[in-house]
Amino acid sequence: MTRKIDIFDTTLRDGEQSPGASMNTEEKIIIAQQLLRMHVDVIEAGFPISSPGDFLSVQQIGRIAGDDAVVVGLTRAVDADIDRAAEALATAKRPRIHTGLGVSPQHLREKLHISEDECVERAIHAVKYAKKYVEDVEFYAEDAGRADQKFLERVIQAAVDAGATVVNIPDTTGYQMPEDFGRRIKGIADNVRGIEDVVISVHTHNDLGMATALALAGVRNGARQVECTINGLGERAGNTSLEEVVMAIKMHGDELDAHTDVVTRELTRASRLVSRITGMQVQANKAIVGANAFAHSSGIHQDGVLKARDTYEIIDPADVGAGSSQIILSARSGHAALRHRLSELGYTFADADFDDIYHRFLEIADQKKEVYDEDLESIVQERQRDVTAIYTLNALQVSCGDPLIPTATATITDEHGVRHVVCATGTGPVDAAYKAVDMVVSAHGDLAEYVVKAITRGIDAIGEVIVRITGEDGHIYTGRGADTDVIVSSAKAYVNAINRMIQSQRDQAA
């Protein structure tokens, strides 16, 4: 059996320190419930002395967590902070006080104005003081990433001797390289007496985009707890992302000699929940939980994934609750992807028909970044409606504006293959286009109704136009047309209505 790595979630504390990500107690409880559903081991619920809201959050989350998770309150190495944290944690069945102070030269000199000896004394005092309240005390050596290694080991030794149950080695500024950070953790694991009975925790920040790599280097070298946040939320560039660490451990558990108890199917839900509550968007290409994490865009990749998912995916999206792989239909998609999606929508075509559909698909894809299911539906329906193509609109060019006179030039082919190029003016672009069509067609109708609607998503959506015309026989004929250009949709709809009218009149005469 591999080593169990505790997942310590600090979304509600360090994550909340993300500019703009503050949450109220009610929102924190909703997130805590999700963390419990995911079986995280430790929830850092807040910094009780910092505000009444944080105090309340720690108190309430302590209440709901029961035996299912350790609940943590953060403190500085200051008695009043520890008193307040202990008070807030009184509701928790498994309370932990997380206390500590800076240990790097920068922190000692510039922030705390204390010597190394004083730092050690304060660490010992804080741990012992917290131990008066709770058995489980985690000591953090802030900015351990930039501390002198010998001094870091000395402070950690002091914290362990004072009774710390967990020692947290943060790379507070995200400065380290993974190999060096790994050596730092190994130094502690090798040189601190009694460390085998204490959990080494790693808490890394993402300033160089390496937070996950740093945390894993820590795990590889003896850490048994990783501190992280949903979506990598946190100060500046954020913290280690929970979903990345959990999935990396899942994928490389044997070589890391590690596993976690996190229910990975809940990761996507957690990510969306945190994003919705904090208003912090997840970048589309974010590992594991980004909108594009399982989306395939290029024709080569799509073909590969359709043949066997693992040609281009190392994770089954269902394992992280992200549904199934997505094939993004765009101008880069090939026949295989289009055919696959159409068949999922219930359409199969003979090769010759499919070629036409693919051609129309490419025309739309050239105008839109992404072709959605609704676009495909409209391509198919447009094709099915055009069976009676007595007249076909080949091209339409319209100029209009203020003070231009709306003018339309249309190219229309009739059923005998004769191409007509006509030009007309009108009161507006649609009127000009309809007048141009009227110059070619052999039957006329009065426009009774004209409706335009967007049938696909996005600013570059396909607009569908439905027109009803009243024929000379008094009947109403409906026509539809769809295009990304609404004037073209209008002309197509009009030609379609006229085709239906002529076809119907011929059918009646036959």
Residue 14 within binding range of ligand KIV, rule CB under 6 A: yes
Q: Which of 34, 99, 172, 225 binds ligand KIV (CB under 6 A)?
A: 172
Which residue has tokens 């080569």? 300
Residue 219 or 424 having the CB closest to Zn ion: 219
Decide if 165 contacts 140 (C-beta within 8 A): no
* Site stretch for ligand KIV (CB under 6 A), options 165-173, 182-190, 216-224, 270-278: 165-173
Q: Which of 55, 139, 140, 477 binds ligand KIV (CB under 6 A)?
A: 140
**C-beta of 14: minimal distance to Zn ion in Å?**
4
**C-beta of 490: minimal distance to Zn ion in Å?**
58
Residues 202-241 that bind ligand KIV (CB under 6 A): 203, 205
Decide if 154 contacts 124 (C-beta within 8 A): no
CB-based burial, 136-174: b 16+ in 10 Å, e otherwise: bbbbbbbbbbbbeeebbbbbbbbbbebebbbbbbbbbbb
**C-beta of 143: minimal distance to Zn ion in Å?**
10
Separation CA 110–CA 88 (nearest Å): 31
**C-beta of 215: minimal distance to ligand KIV in Å?**
12
Residue 207 or 303 having the CB closest to ligand KIV: 207
* Site stretch for Zn ion (CB under 5 A), options 9-17, 46-54, 207-215, 403-411: 9-17
Residue 14 within binding range of Zn ion, rule CB under 5 A: yes
Residue 40 or 390 having the CB closest to ligand KIV: 40
**C-beta of 203: minimal distance to ligand KIV in Å?**
5
Tokens (6 digits) for 107:
């922190």
**Angle in degrees, CA 438, 442, 443, rounded to 5:** 80
Residue 9 within binding range of Zn ion, rule CB under 5 A: no
Residue 13 or 435 having the CB closest to Zn ion: 13
Separation CA 136–CA 71 (nearest Å): 10
Tokens (6 digits) for 310:
């693992």
Tell me the pairing of strands 166-171 and 199-204. Answer: parallel
Decide if 412 contacts 393 (C-beta within 8 A): yes
Residue 9 or 483 having the CB closest to ligand KIV: 9
Backbone angle region of 505, left / alpha / beta, with phi > 0 → left and psi within -120 to 50 → alpha = alpha
Residue 8 within binding range of ligand KIV, rule CB under 6 A: no
Tokens (6 digits) for 258:
């590690």
Residue 135's Cα: distance from chain center in Å? Answer: 39
Decide if 439 contacts 422 (C-beta within 8 A): yes
Q: Which residues bind Zn ion (CB under 5 A)?
A: 14
Q: Which residues bind ligand KIV (CB under 6 A)?
A: 14, 140, 142, 168, 170, 172, 203, 205
